[in-house]
């Protein structure tokens, strides 16, 4: 059974008499170590789909199963704990806290569960080494380039060994060279960690790095033939 199963997912706004569908009967599956990209025009529902899979939004109908569980049925704080432990998020904006060092920023997911253990701190340092920031642990975000800040964001998303990485336009704010470097790094680490990776992007170059590509048009998801 796939580790991620999205089945007949729909999202609508408006009223019952005048519904506005953002997503219509969307289904997809991923297993450990697999990655996929979703492309489509602005406003097509790509980010909404990612937020629903990431348990940040609720579907109108359909289901999301992750590791055999349906997190949308969880109550808080169980959902928050599941999200923190099972999902890693990478956004277009890195969302690093300016007052913290790079290392402290990467440790943020662990802080939700108390003081980070020595093992977790060591993993954070190792991840920063792997993304090329091993010499920048004590730097503040303002001292990093855009590409470096995004690489720190990738390290942070991987800290707690999530089963699923969700990336929303992860290279959208970067120049072409930095975008290529971050895209390559993201896939490389995802494969090494045997995580699943689902990327929403306008970049066909980034999408082409993924094993499968989908297109979201008028709320419907269809697989692109490469």
What average pLDDT does this structure show over 41-64? 93
pLDDT at 197 over 70: yes
pLDDT at 109 over 90: yes
Q: What is the pLDDT of residues 154-168, one digit of tens each?
A: 999 999 999 999 999
pLDDT confidence bin for 226, thresholds 50/70/90: low
Q: Distance of alpha carbon 8 from its chain centroid, rounded?
A: 21
- Rounded-to-integer distance, Cα 171 and Cα 17, Å: 39
- DSSP secondary structure, 149-181, as one string: HHHHHHHHHHTT--SEEEEESTTTTS-HHHHHH
- Inter-residue contact 203 to 40 (CB < 8 Å): no
Give pLDDT, residue 225: 75
Give pLDDT, residue 104: 97
Q: Whats the size of the chain, residue-wise? A: 226
pLDDT at 41 over 90: no
What average pLDDT does this structure show over 105-115? 92
The per-residue pLDDT of the chain, averaged, comes to 94
Class of domain 4-223: alpha beta
Give pLDDT, residue 53: 97
The set of residues, in sequence order, having a beta carbon less than 8 Å from that of 115 and lying 6+ positions away, is none
Q: What is the pLDDT of residues 133-158, one digit of tens each?
A: 999 999 999 999 999 999 999 999 99
Sign of the dihedral through C-alpha 92, 30, 49, 46 = positive
Give pLDDT, residue 20: 86
More confident residue, 126 or 94: 126
Give pLDDT, residue 164: 98
């Amino acid at each position: 059974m796939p580790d991620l199963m999205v089945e007949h997912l729909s999202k609508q706004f408006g009223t019952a008499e005048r519904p506005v569908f953002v997503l219509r009967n969307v289904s997809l599956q991923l297993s450990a170590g697999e990655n996929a990209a979703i492309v489509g025009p602005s406003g097509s529902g790509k980010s909404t789909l990612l937020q629903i899979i990431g348990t940040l939004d609720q579907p109108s109908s359909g289901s999301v199963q992750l590791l055999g569980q349906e997190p949308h049925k969880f109550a808080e704080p169980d959902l928050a704990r599941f999200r923190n432990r099972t999902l890693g998020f990478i956004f277009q904006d890195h969302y690093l806290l300016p007052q913290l060092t790079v290392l402290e920023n990467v440790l943020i997911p662990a802080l939700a569960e108390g003081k980070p253990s020595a093992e977790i701190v060591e993993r954070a340092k190792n991840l920063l080494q792997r993304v090329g920031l091993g010499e920048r642990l004590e730097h503040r975000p303002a001292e990093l380039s855009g590409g470096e800040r995004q690489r720190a964001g990738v390290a942070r998303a991987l800290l707690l060994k999530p089963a699923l990485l969700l990336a929303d336009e992860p290279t959208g704010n970067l120049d072409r060279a930095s975008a290529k470097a971050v895209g390559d790094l993201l896939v490389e680490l995802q494969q090494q960690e045997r995580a699943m990776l689902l990327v929403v992007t306008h970049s066909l170059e980034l999408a082409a790095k993924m094993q499968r590509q989908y297109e979201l048009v008028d709320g419907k998801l269809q697989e692109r033939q490469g």
